[in-house]
Amino acid sequence: MSMVAEQRELRDDALNGLQLSTRLENIWRTPSGFFGALASVDHKVVGRRYIVTAFAFLLLGGLLAVLMRVQLAGPENTFLSADKYNQIFTMHGSTMMFLFAVPVMEAFAVYLVPLMVGTRNIAFPRLNAFSYWMFLFGGCFLWISFMLNVGPDVGWFAYVPLSSLQYTPTKRPDVWAQMITFTEVAALAVAVEIVVTVFKQRAPGMTLDRIPLFVWAMLVTSFLVMFAMPSIMVASTSLILDRLVNTRFYDSSSGGHPLLWQHLFWFFGHPEVYIIFIPGTGMVSAILATFTRRPVVGYPVVILSLIATGFLSFGLWVHHMFVTGLPQLGAGLFTASSMLIAVPSGLQIFCWLATLWDGRPVYRTPLLFVIGFIVIFVIGGLSGVMVASVPIDTQVHDTYFVVAHFHYVLIGGAVFPLIGAVYYWFPKIAGRMLSERLGLWHFWLAFVGFNVAFFPMHILGLIGMPRRVYTYTADMDWAHLNLLSSAGAAIFALSFALLLVNVIYSLRSGALAGDNPWDASTLEWATTSPPPPQNFDRIPIVKHRDPLWFHNESLPVVAGLSVERREVLLTSLAEAEPQIREASPDPSIWPLLTAIATTVFFIGSIFTPWAVLWGTPPMAVALIGWFWPTGSKEDEE
Amino acid sequence: MPVRMRTALVPSATLPLAACAGRQSALDPQGLQSDQILRTFFIFLIVAAVVWIAVVIALCVGMLRQKRAADQPLALHRSFERTSGRIVFVLGLATLVIVLGLSIVSYAGQRTVFAKDENALTLKIIGHQWWWEVRYEDGSPDKNFVTANEIRIPTGQPVKVELESADVIHSFWVPSLTGKMDLITGQKNELQFTAKNAGTYRGQCAEFCGHQHAHMAFAVLALSPDEFDRWRDHENQGASSPTDPLGKQGEQLFRARGCALCHTIRGTLAGGQLGPDLTHVGSRTTVAAGTLPMSPATLAAWIADPQHIKPGNFMPRTPLQSDELIAILHYLEQLK
């Protein structure tokens, strides 16, 4: 039976050149037209949408930050009311953490990981499409609520009992809690896809020790997502239950406890920092190798550091709770465990420095952002060691010192590498180079603006300024530093405007990129820019950690995949030996319909528990449509 | 006709807030604990500065060195790979030693800061949205009394504050004296500190507690032990009855206009439990939980329109005739 099927089917070893490309393009392309676009399951299309949407949320979150800096620029400013300010800082934090930082990193992974491991599409491509729609709908839900003056106002951490029905009897905390559900569903879906793609779809020969460092970083991140996010989903769902159907998870008068919320929140919240930071380190490693013209020093050290960081990140959450009255010895142990994470982070920094020492740096914009990253992130890491100390934390906790610290870590550790990554991979995604001249301006404005905006906050915290205050009086001596900080914020915001200009300008008239403009070593540069729908005409064989540097002329390839239907090659977990050919799903509108049904269910259920009843049938219908068996050739065999 | 006393009594549209609110800075330690924390902080700061400078120097040297040919990315020197591997290992080990050392320094500081003294003066602080209830509960019951938004303590003597919350989570923070501690619903926390020098130290809520979190401050007045005892004996007594007609009218209006529904003035019929105790309000240094410095003008402005000064707080605007306001103001000012 199988012999017969194989004889009938056309394989890629029977075709060559343009004929092969055209055939593959036809079966892998996204259908044309509006509905075709909505049905797309191409990881590049979904990844691009994900990236653009996440950057749109960055823009919105950034605008909120500017509004806050205007308000705080002078004492007793009346630019924003207390109510507006509280909504805005909550929206800023929630947008940046849930709608920008985590999704944008996953977005880059969705676009890049399949290319970097040499496969044709991500694992579970329809789930991927569903994930994007859920992210988009969740983000819009939060922002539309904000526009309707139902924006959450209890902080991005939504501590109970402030966020309980008794103290916030509006719908605002429900909007926040349900936005969490949306984004977590989206994030978990991508995490599963990345893990499976990396484990099962690597090009033949890409053994575990030949996986690019960025892919390793995203693999570790995906595991963190899978273990950390359930905690916050449990927390936010319990909060909604407390608020909607009078459960008492957090009510201390009925045997619940407010600190339960804090433990659940930070058991997610601390790994969250590494979910954002570890992809940044992957980007740094990728950029450094290309622009120092040599592989990163200590490949196994970097990977083990990533894994160690991942494990340690689950043992630190209590350092967010040092002033909640914990037993002193217990708190002291969390000081030590928190500081311990400096070791794997330090090892990575040392490896990168060694790479720079030996390499011959080519100072293009991506490398500038990586150098800026090292300078800024090390400050953030060191101030992190300070706040890990219980006695120091009792002073700086919930002050502007901590605001400074985590912006140094998150902007320094994740956004600088990310912007570097934008300059680095934009040519691959768009087919055109970003302007280097604007890039240079962008870097210096960002670097100076960032430091002027955030360094003074360290001092502000030490001289007594708490976080989340919408105003302060003139006699507190905070006015000058706040004004300076606001000026820095303006410069920093301007630098992002330059990026926007650069992207718009370069999309139209940037220099054409070619396949591999930076002479980089990883597989995504082995295909055209932008890549064709099938990514690669033939799946490459990997014989070296830096395949494009190792094979100067052309990559060895495998043949034998179908050219009549979507097919990917599955390989073994450790050695990446070819195992089977596996069908990859066609475009489908059902993920979108499922996402719409889920959205109705989620939003309905913050208003009435009955939404759980009437919201499920549409979801069931959508899922049945999604998984309706269509008898693929594979199954017939 | 209800008047807006703010415009009547205060010349400018914005209130003059520049009166000394007391010190609020971790860099200006006036307590044993804040002193110790600052010492620990400086040790960390020096280590951090040295590490950062070393990293930046290594970065600059690395950028300036140009050894390899750019066109042979895989032509690696064995000796460099080996040496750099060793250096990375040693630096990793050094990082481990540094963080373990700092952990020990931190724990030593922590033990000093959280050391307990059984003979400490005890008072209980209960956080409310957005003010502080202060209960002196030391010694015999006849010495217990309640006040609000202002704490007076003796210098040189350990003070233990028991922290509770009446609603949401707040955080008690007087940076010049010690670090902060949360006031958590359904939980009793505790914090001890000792003021070294007499003075006024400003504190502020450090955990976001809703709408007016920004305006939830308080003053700590550290007095010499003698002065403190005198103050405590006085504070323990109820309010003295006004003798002048205007004061008497004020006392009567305080009840008639509903103030007494929320506020207690010990020794009178006013016994409301929702708002701050006002028994000796005239002797306090601030109005509206550290929002304004105490003066006839600010107190009048607060009574006339609390929602203007602290929008969204739970004290409603009470319609008062201007002569009524003047009488109530006069009465409250007498409550020294």
User: In angstroms, rounded to a whole number, what is the distance separating the alpha carbons of residues A230 and A225?
Assistant: 8
Q: Do B84 and A362 touch (CB under 8 A)?
A: no
**Phi-psi domain of B242 (left: phi exceeds 0; alpha: psi -120 through 50; beta: other):** beta
Select the residue of B88, B95, B206 nearest A398 (Cβ to Cβ).
B206
pLDDT of residue A2: 44
Of A325, A336, A391, the CB nearest to B113: A391
CA distances from B182 to A150, B69, B102, B127, B172 (A): 28, 59, 25, 10, 6
Helix (H, G, I), strand (E, B) or coil at A637: coil
User: Using an 8 Å Cβ cutoff, are A592 and A128 in contact?
Assistant: no
Q: Which residue of B has its CA nearest to A384?
A: B48
Residue A597 DSSP one-character state? H
Cβ-defined contact of A325 to B181 (cutoff 8 Å): yes
Q: Render pLDDT for A62-77 as a digit per residue (tens, 0 to 9).
A: 999 999 999 999 999 9
Kindly report, residue by residue over A130-139, the tens digit of the pLDDT: 999 999 999 9
- Are A357 and B181 within 8 A, CB to CB? no
Report the candidate in A600, A570, A574, A594 with the shortest Cα–Cα distance to residue A582. A570
Distance CA A582, CA A532 (A): 20
Give me the pLDDT at residue A64, please.
Answer: 97
Cβ contact B73–A521 (<8 Å) = yes
Please judge whether A324 and B80 are an interchain contact, meaning their C-beta atoms are less than 8 angstroms apart.
no
Query: Does pLDDT of A340 surpass 70?
Result: yes
- Largest CA-CA distance found in chain B, in angstroms, rounded: 99
Mean pLDDT of the region A274-301: 96
Per DSSP, the three-state class of A604 is helix
Point out the residue among A258, A346, A466 whose CB comes nearest to the CB of B92.
A346
Whether residue A1 has pLDDT greater than 50:
no
Dihedral (CA of A426, A432, A436, A441) sign? negative
Residue B83 has a CB neighbour count (10 Å cut-off) of: 13
DSSP for A280-315, written as a single string:
HHHHHHHHHHHHHTSPPS-HHHHHHHHHHHHHHGGG
Single out the residue of B289, B290, B206, B299 nearest to residue B21, CA to CA: B290
Q: Is there a contact between B110 and A390 if contact means CB atoms under 8 Å apart?
A: yes
Q: Are B216 and B184 in contact (CB under 8 A)?
A: no
Helix (H) or strand (E) holding A492: helix A479-509
The answer to whether the Cβ–Cβ distance between A371 and B214 falls below 8 Å is no
Using CA coordinates, name the residue in chain A closest to B90.
A347
Q: Kindly list the distances between the CA atom of residue A384 and the CA atoms of A324, A637, B85, B334, in Å, as whole numbers in the listed order.
A: 19, 58, 26, 51
- pLDDT reported for residue A223: 98
| Residues 6+ away with beta carbon under 8 Å from A66 | A489, A490, A493
CB contacts < 8 A (A, B) = 274
Q: pLDDT tier at A9 (50, 70, 90 boundaries)?
A: confident
Q: Which residues of A touch B167 (CB under 8 A)?
A: 161, 167
Residue with tokens 């299309």: A45
Q: What six digits make up the tokens of B74?
A: 């895989």
| A156 vs A167: CA distance, rounded Å | 16
Q: Report the distance separating Cα B233 and Cα A572, nearest Å.
A: 82
User: In angstroms, what is the C-alpha Rg of chain A?
Assistant: 25
Nearest by CB to residue A343, choosing from B96, B190, B206, is B96
Q: Tell me, what's the pLDDT at B76?
A: 84
Q: At what angle do helices A172-200 and A125-147 cross, to 10 degrees?
A: 160
CB–CB contact A297 B84 (8 Å): yes
Of the candidates B81, B180, B205, the beta carbon closest to that of A394 is on B180
CB contact (8 A) between residue A258 and residue B63 = no
Cβ of A469 and B214 within 8 Å? yes
**How far B234 CA sits from the closest chain A CA (Å)?**
31
Which residues of chain A lie closer than 8 angstroms to B66, CB-CB?
Answer: 360
- From the list A253, A393, A463, which residue is nearest B25 (CB)? A463
* Closest CB to B312 among A82, A332, A463: A82
- Round to whole Å and give the CA distance between B227 and B223: 6
Q: Which pair of structure tokens corresponds to residue B217?
A: 């401050």
Average pLDDT, chain A: 94
B1 SS3 class: coil
Query: CA A383 to CA A347: how far, in whole Å?
Result: 18
- DSSP 8-state class, residue B210: S
Which residue type, as a one-letter code, is found at position A338? S
Q: Decide: B123 and B159 in contact? Cβ < 8 Å.
A: yes
At B106, phi and psi to the nearest 5?
-60, -45
Contacts of A467 (CB under 8 A, 6+ apart): A398, A399, A400, A402, A403, B206, B208
Instruction: Using pLDDT thresholds of 50, 70 and 90, give the confidence band for residue A552.
Output: confident
Q: What is the pLDDT of residue A553?
A: 74
3-class DSSP state of A120: coil
Q: What percent of chain A has pLDDT over 90?
A: 92
Cross-chain CB nearest to A349 (options B55, B61, B77): B55
Quick one: angle between helices A479-509 and A416-430, nearest 10?
10
Residue A505 exposed, middle or buried by CB count within 10 Å (0-12, 13-18, 19+): middle
**From the centroid of its chain, how far is CA A95?**
12
> pLDDT digit of tens for each residue in chain B (336 aa)?
344 443 344 333 344 333 445 789 999 999 999 999 999 999 999 999 999 999 999 999 999 887 677 678 888 888 888 999 999 999 999 999 999 999 999 999 999 999 999 889 999 999 999 999 999 987 778 889 999 999 999 999 999 999 999 999 999 999 999 999 999 999 999 999 999 999 999 999 999 999 999 999 999 999 999 999 999 999 999 998 899 999 999 999 999 999 999 999 999 999 999 999 999 999 999 999 999 999 999 999 999 999 999 999 999 999 999 999 999 999 999 998
Collect all residues of chain A within an 8 Å Cβ-Cβ radius of residue B178: 394
Given this model, what pLDDT does residue B70 score? 66
- Chain A nearest CA to B286, separation (Å): 13
- Residue A342 in contact with residue A385, Cβ under 8 Å? yes
Among B26, B67, B91, the residue with its CB nearest the CB of A358 is B67
pLDDT reported for residue A309: 96
CB contact under 8 A, A466 and B205: yes
Asked if B18's CB is within 8 angstroms of A474's CB, the reply is yes
The pLDDT value recorded for residue B78 is 85
Q: Which residue of A has its CA nearest to B93?
A: A343
DSSP strands (E only) in A335-427: none
Give A159's DSSP letter.
-
Q: Identify the three-state secondary structure at position A41.
A: coil
Mean pLDDT of A260-277: 96
- Rounded Cα distance, A309 and A320, in Å: 18
Rounded to a whole number of angstroms, the distance from the CA of B266 to the nearest CA of chain A is 30
Burial of B81 (0-12, 13-18, 19+ CB in 10 A): middle
Q: Is the Cβ pair B73, A349 closer than 8 Å?
A: no
Q: Which residues of B touch A546 (CB under 8 A)?
A: 73-74
Using the beta-carbon criterion (under 8 Å), do B17 and A474 form an inter-chain contact? yes
**Greatest Cα pair distance in chain A:** 87
A386 vs B207: CB contact, 8 Å cut-off?
Answer: no
DSSP lists the bridge partners of residue A287 as none
Indicate the pairing of strand B159-165 with strand B121-128.
parallel
Q: Read off the amino acid at residue A615.
A: G
Inter-residue contact B150 to B134 (CB < 8 Å): yes
Q: What is the pLDDT of residue B90?
A: 96
Mode of pairing for the β-strands spanning B150-154 and B217-223: parallel
> With 90 as the cut, is the pLDDT of residue A304 above it?
yes
Mutate to test the interface with A, among B56, B96, B106, B112 (most CBs of A within 10 A): B106
Q: How far is A25 from chain B (nearest CA, A)?
A: 34
CB contact under 8 A, B211 and A83: yes
Q: What is the pLDDT of residue A17?
A: 83
Q: Give the model's pLDDT for residue B3.
A: 40
Residues 6+ apart with CB under 8 A from A324: A259, A262, B182, B184, B189
Torsion, Cα of A557, A561, A562, A566 (10° steps) = -100
Quick one: pLDDT at residue A285?
97
Q: How high is the pLDDT of residue A634? A: 56
Sole residue written with tokens 């020098």: B197
Identity of the residue in A359, A385, A393 whose CB atom sits nearest the CB atom of B102: A385
The tens digit of pLDDT for each residue in A204-247 reads 999 999 999 999 999 999 999 999 999 999 999 999 999 999 99
Provide the token pair at A243.
């608020």
The partner residue sitting opposite B85, judged by closest CB among A155, A298, A357, is A298
The answer to whether the beta carbons of residues A345 and A381 sit under 8 Å apart is: yes
Q: Residues A434, A368: contact at Cβ < 8 Å?
A: no
Distances (CA, A) of B169 to B186, B290, B335: 10, 19, 31
Q: Do B84 and A390 touch (CB under 8 A)?
A: no
Residue B154: asked if its preceding bond is cis (omega within 30°), the reply is no
- Which residue is it, tokens 């570890």? A278
**A-chain residues within 8 Å CB-CB of B102?**
339, 385, 389
- Is residue A633 over pLDDT 70? no
Helix or strand holding residue B202 (H, E) = strand B199-204
pLDDT in tens, A35-51: 999 999 999 999 999 99
Please say if the pLDDT value at position A631 is more than 90. Answer: no
pLDDT digits (tens, 9 = 90+) for A60-115: 999 999 999 999 999 999 999 999 999 999 999 999 999 999 999 999 999 999 99
A497–chain B nearest CA distance, Å: 29
CB contact under 8 A, A335 and B106: yes
CB count, 10 Å around CB of B226? 9
pLDDT band of residue A5 (cuts 50, 70, 90) is: very low
Instruction: Please give the residue of chain B at the shortest CA–CA distance from A359.
Output: B68
- Cα–Cα distance measured from residue A307 to residue A216, given in angstroms and rounded to the nearest whole number: 9
Predicted local distance difference test score (pLDDT) of residue B6: 39
Kindly state the DSSP code that residue B317 receives in the 8-state scheme.
Answer: P
CB spacing of A371 vs B19 below 8 angstroms: no
Q: Report the pLDDT value the prediction gives residue B13, as an integer from 0 to 100.
A: 36
